[in-house]
Amino acid sequence: MGKLVLKDFKAVVTRNRGLFKDYAKLVPHAARHFLERAKDIPINMGIEVSIYEPPTNPNQLEGTFYVGILVNSEIENLPDGMEYKHILQHYAVIKGKITEIANLYSRIDQWIVEQGYKRDTPEHYIIEVYYPEKNDQEEVEVYIPIKNERFLNLRV
């Protein structure tokens, strides 16, 4: 099911804003636009990523999200509108088919509770990493930030 990891993400992204209720349309649209320009990024791993700023309160309607690609190291002189993000955080992670994304979130949330962990949101980003498959069944890894003193000694 889920597992706990200390993950070090390095990505080149574009920043976007929108209503949370519209993310299902906004994120793929922003990702397609970003990928049209991805060829201009050196050291491109070819793995797509979305980074979500969780809402800070239940009344927040709009949020910030980033779409981009993973890279091996920091890149200088990025194309206009792009930025480098480096995120090191403890995460609960689950992997599955993109078509089952809602179920993946439910399962990882349940696993977090069962293990006695707590989400470290809204202080840290929720991250999705996308892996294209040959049969068009894209896989996704969902990373939920975790806070728990038991994992302060966990290493990458």
Domain assignments of the chain as residue spans, ordered by start = 3-151
Tens-level pLDDT at each residue, the chain (156 residues):
899 999 999 999 999 999 999 999 999 999 999 999 888 787 777 899 999 999 888 899 999 999 999 999 988 889 899 999 999 999 999 999 999 999 999 999 999 999 999 999 888 999 999 998 777 788 999 999 998 655 555 544
Predicted local distance difference test score (pLDDT) of residue 148: 64
Kindly report the CA angle at 2 between 26 and 53, in degrees rounded to 5? 30
Nearest to 85 by CA among 61, 51, 109: 51
Overall fold of domain 3-151: Multidrug-efflux Transporter 1 Regulator Bmrr; Chain A (3.20.80)
